[in-house]
Amino acid sequence: MSGGLLVAGTTSDAGKSVVTAGICRWLVRQGVKVAPFKGQNMSLNSFVTREGAEIGRAQAMQAQAARVEPSALMNPVLLKPGSDQSSQVVLMGKPVGELSASGYHGGRQEALLGTVVDCLERLRGTYDAVICEGAGSPAEINLRRTDIVNMGIARAAKLPVVVVGDIDRGGVFASFFGTTALLSPEDQALVAGYIVNKFRGDVSLLEPGIDMLRGLTGRHTYGILPYAHGLGIDEEDGLRVSLRGAVRESVVAPPVGEDVLRVAVCAIPLMSNFTDVDALAAEPGVVVRFVDRPEELADADLVVVPGTRGTVRALEWLRERGLARELARRAAEGRPVLGICGGFQVLGEHIEDEVESRAGSVTGLGLLPVRVRFAPGKTLARPTGEALGEPVEGYEIHHGVAEVLGGEAFLDGCRVGAVWGTHWHGSLESDGFRRRFLETVASAAGRRFVPAPDTSFGALREEQLDRLGDLIEEHADTDALMRLIEQGAPAGLPFIAPGAPA
């Protein structure tokens, strides 16, 4: 078997990432050796593989769903926005430059198709099946000529395509029909059918629409997936963070001790790897929220300044909003603050940046004795260490090089009083360290909060991935999906007018 499938969507956030992960988990349960793939990803949430390559966190999550080690082959092109107009281009896990949107779509993207196809073929030579995720919508007719992630890769690799639509938004039938009808005859020939996502209610009420869609398009609906709370794991962007989402959408687990612990995360511009706080939200009695006003820090027991692709811009934003003043007040009062990566950098004394913002010399918040110099090369690493007497693992993704001039050592960063700073993402996923850290925070905040002794973030993540696999196994036509993966798109799929413009 050397099968494949492209999971496209009617829109961004239709559910492509989670459906792809669910199919991967379902297949691996069937004994299929499977890998995920996304030719081009635009996201500020990224991960570092063991070989030191940067890829989208969604693909790392999908690799975990497939029970395989993440690789740069699974996401050969990653775009990390630095503004509304430009992005850093990461090719095969390494940054190769900054390009405007017009520059990228004006020729660079099309030139990368060969690399993307080669990566996919290398995966298909190793695995029984490769489940590919598209981006946005395949019917972006203004971008079709240079497309390397939707129908461009489907055509090049002869992949069958299923289109996912979010029925919770409404208009799913029109979206399915319109998406198909805006594709060329050659592209339409690969669109085998549809998956309805986030359905609430009685499926029998939807069935007449499914039948009519089949009559209009000649295409099968491969599944009607019910709405499931808290499954937006490792989203590419937005604030539907995985386990935080689960906490917000369901009853917050009661605390083990007498108090809850309140965590405020500063929603800084170009926020990256905000998934760092998922592990905090997984703890019973920890309430996590994103904030952008100084008064929202007043009742917080811990304030987190997360990573960002725009450190100097984030620093300016914190000052403009009055949050910088509140952070300084908290530090003076001995109330906990944690800075991660870019958030760590803004807490320092001085930033020298001729790389990211090209702002030159900038004064930081001065809460930690750290000076940061931005280097042209990017640090990509998977460090391990110890803090608070517990083993810790993490990953680093940054251009800023920190010179620590004092304080207490903390995960290659430092701590002064109740202010902590580190470049390590993912450290809070280490269960023992997270518990000790929360105990320290609770003590400094004067809260009678006690971390649960048995919370395992890894086990919770596995439970979520199993739930995704269950959704596919229980609510999709798995026999038809398997045939599609093994045999490709059915022959003779009808053309739906008008097709793509000439």
Residues labelled as active-site residues = 341, 425
SS3 of residue 390 by DSSP: strand
**Structure tokens of 329?**
């007040």
Helical residues (DSSP H) of 400-499, grouped into ranges: 431-445, 457-475, 478-487
Using left for φ > 0, alpha for ψ between -120 and 50, and beta otherwise, residue 170 falls in left
Check if the beta carbon of residue 367 is closer than 8 Å to that of residue 347: yes
Measured CA to CA, the distance from residue 402 to residue 205 in angstroms comes to 59
DSSP state, 490? P
Asked if residues 410 and 421 have their Cβ atoms less than 8 Å apart, the reply is: yes
What amino acid occupies position 32? V
Distance CA 174, CA 213 (A): 9
**Helix (H), strand (E) at residue 386:** strand 384-387
Q: Contact 364/331 with Cβ under 8 angstroms?
A: no
Distance, in Å, from the CA atom of 80 to the CA atom of 76, rounded to the nearest integer, reads: 13
What whole-number distance in Å separates Cα of residue 217 and Cα of residue 196? Answer: 15
Measured distance CA(502)–CA(498) in Å, rounded: 10
How far apart are the C-alpha atoms of 220 and 227, rounded to whole Å?
A: 21
Q: Provide the angle, in degrees to the nearest 10, between the axes of the packed helices 57-65 and 457-475.
A: 70
Classify 171 in phi/psi space as left (phi over 0), alpha (psi -120 to 50) or beta: left
